[in-house]
Structure 1
């Protein structure tokens, strides 16, 4: 079965913030625990076949080797009944209190055991994002001082990054042991840093190398000498770096690129940087990532505030879709698109750093579960394109099983490597 993967998501973010390590549970803030049955019905009402979704890690992973699957059992049974294909998001910005934070060197192995246990309990699940936005999580936790360990150092960033990526790699291995034809969609932020002045050009160039580090390590792509010195100078050992070269599972992966108007940054002469809005846009930046890794691509996150007229988000939807179709016309194998998320979010405007309770009108539905104009537009877009895109996807076939099938005996996923771009590849 081959389909273009039209998707939405229900976010299970759960970082901790502040000196008291207060938990920010986005599923709770958005009312999903109370309305999960209705939320899953809304997915089907829009005709969306794929859903980025996962159980909350901080309540499901109760201790080493101990798991509470009660919520996942109910929700995943309903997903299967409704024939919604989940892209399972297992770790989204936070860990259970007993695990501490992303500086904990035990996190990768413990998380891999959790991922393997999930895959054995739900053997019909094929698509996974083991660790969401590893670059963003490491930056916000280890460099910006916003979440979890709340560090503001390069060493804090590198330590979080190596643990997050190792957790992702080990989780992929553990999942494949239970589901040999599993496919992994790395949802990662696609970033770009623009130099505001000649004085900031060197720093912008450095940051444009740093933005690739999570996927370089995850896909076993050799970094250049400057990045190698940066990693080793901030706590990564040669043995740790070699692990990523030797254990990557690139051929099981689809590269998920997330893009928002906040993904591009202007670097100033004083060494700081700030959001600068859309300058290059999704197509140009994603082309850079594709040229580097040569993998099929899914647009795994985007949204915009509805705005006063109600059309701002609709216009953004069609702008992102135009970027996606341009990439397809340029020969990039695009296999999916996601409006994120299903409902409005809460406190996204502060990057989940405050518990202000402010509703951000970003969803296909509001928090009363009323459809927004962008929800209507996305439903129509899917209707218009769902029968056309598979016939145009001659460059790549994604070997998906139906959610009511489960794994076939002896099934293995063929390589998902696309034709390589002009960049160097591992």
Structure 2
């Protein structure tokens, strides 16, 4: 890490909820519309710029742009305009839980159609923005396979663990094909494969479930990344270069107690079975030795600033241990609704407050103050230069800050 610059222009990243799934009621959801990011896109990007955040996860809605193999990308033109004006670098999510109505994700046509769409998306956005160019072909393959393959929350509405496994294999095949198609357009394009980083433990009174819980933690959590990397199902064409950058999501509900049916139960905050984030990140690092980011993280309501403080402490410990960590994505930039209840989660950098038919962006001041404190500690810019891409983050600054803040001895950096 000390011998090369960071991959991204800034260490802190953000992003916007962009799911376009068919929900349990068989109706298409569009979270970009529900959060009014489509109406406030210029404002939203100006807000990120004002915070010194120069990288954002953003979505291209596959089911809305792909009409039986013909494409209309005009809906993302306002985003491209805002990115050019603010000089913010996108990480494009090309499939955020949604796919076209006429496709069966278990079919060969799904893989082929996704690859053609990925190529078309790359051909559209790459000439319109300065590089480097980043893509997430399929967001959260593992979580998608639970939602659509076992719990029946979203299409394709399957409901068994076997279906969950089959859907994950199908999504991995499509993602690998998508990476290859994008790199036919731009060989230097970088991939960021996002999935939750979780730990599952057995109930204290159910030692018979220890093995199943460990399988969820040490096997199931990593299967999609293993396939993309070529460790599992090498016939799909995965490789370390396909996996590229690993984005590990970290939320309070990511450490859970095993349940035989439905989602596992989140551990309470003071449970002694919770493992430090640095330890979880190290599991990923030791398995792949690929560059990493924390792909999503946020606290809730009044706990957002404390959550960021804890995540940063753990992230600096990871950096200090030699883990190749290149950024932390504070997700979302603006609030998002709970999919089930519709209530605002109050987990964004900015809350959303209804004023007539408008959702006003209201800053979470404590969260922003904590972000600025860490930017100062890491010698990060508070106001971006005219061309931030010309001055990428120097990860030696992050390492120096980690050593200074944690008062640990120097290490032999790789």
User: Contact between 1:88 and 1:128, CA under 8 Å: does it hold in 2?
Assistant: yes
1:337 alignment counterpart: 328
Q: CA deviation at 1:393?
A: 6.4
Aligned runs of 1:364-375 on 2, under 5 Å?
A: 364-367=349-352, 368-373=360-365, 374-375=367-368
Q: CA deviation at 1:175?
A: 0.8
Q: CA deviation at 1:265?
A: 1.3
Task: Provide the alpha-carbon RMSD of the alignment.
Answer: 2.4
Deviates more, 1:103-112 or 1:199-208: 103-112
CA displacement 1:235-291 (0-9 Å, x = unmatched): xxxxxx3423x4435366111110101111112689983211461132111111111
Find the residue that maps to 2:94 and give its secondary structure: strand
2:134 alignment counterpart: 127
Aligned in 2, Cα 1:180/1:277: closer, same or farther, shift over 3 Å? farther
1:118 aligns with 2:121: yes
User: Contact between 1:10 and 1:52, CA under 8 Å: does it hold in 2?
Assistant: yes
Q: Provide the TM-score with structure 2 as the length reference.
A: 0.82
Q: CA deviation at 1:357?
A: 2.8
CA displacement 1:283-334 (0-9 Å, x = unmatched): 1111111111111110110112123xxxx11000110111110101111011
User: Contact between 1:169 and 1:249, CA under 8 Å: does it hold in 2?
Assistant: no
Q: CA deviation at 1:359?
A: 1.3
1:378 aligns with 2:371: yes
CA displacement 1:109-153 (0-9 Å, x = unmatched): 211111111111222451111111100000111012221122111
Find the residue that maps to 1:99 and give its secondary structure: coil
Aligned in 2, Cα 1:155/1:335: closer, same or farther, shift over 3 Å? same
2:28 alignment counterpart: 23
User: Contact between 2:379 and 2:397, CA under 8 Å: does it hold in 1?
Assistant: no
User: Contact between 2:378 and 2:398, CA under 8 Å: does it hold in 1?
Assistant: no
Q: CA deviation at 1:73?
A: 2.3
Q: CA deviation at 1:16?
A: 1.4
The structure 2 residue matched to 1:6, chosen from 5, 12, 21, is: 12
1:215 aligns with 2:225: yes
Aligned in 2, Cα 1:36/1:292: closer, same or farther, shift over 3 Å? same
CA displacement 1:386-411 (0-9 Å, x = unmatched): 4485224689xxxxxxxxxxxxxxxx
Q: CA deviation at 1:103?
A: 3.3
Find the residue that maps to 2:363 and give its secondary structure: coil
1:54 aligns with 2:59: yes
Give unpaired runs (5+ residues) of structure 1: 223-240, 396-417, 420-426
Aligned runs of 1:108-257 on 2, under 5 Å?
A: 108-123=111-126, 124-125=130-131, 126-196=133-203, 197-208=206-217, 209-222=219-232, 241-244=233-236, 246-250=237-241, 253-257=244-248
Return the alpha-carbon distance in structure 2 between the equivalents of residues 270 and 187 of structure 1: 25
Give unpaired runs (5+ residues) of structure 2: 353-359, 381-392, 401-412
2:387 alignment counterpart: none
The structure 1 residue matched to 2:46, chosen from 13, 19, 41, is: 41
Return the alpha-carbon distance in structure 1 between the equivalents of residues 162 and 396 of structure 2: 48
Aligned in 2, Cα 1:61/1:164: closer, same or farther, shift over 3 Å? same
Aligned in 2, Cα 1:192/1:113: closer, same or farther, shift over 3 Å? same
Aligned length: 365
User: Contact between 1:57 and 1:96, CA under 8 Å: does it hold in 2?
Assistant: yes
Find the residue that maps to 1:343 and give its secondary structure: coil
Aligned in 2, Cα 1:270/1:357: closer, same or farther, shift over 3 Å? closer
Find the residue that maps to 1:122 and give its secondary structure: helix
Aligned in 2, Cα 1:365/1:258: closer, same or farther, shift over 3 Å? same
Find the residue that maps to 2:14 and give its secondary structure: strand
Return the alpha-carbon distance in structure 1 between the equivalents of residues 242 and 28 of structure 2: 36
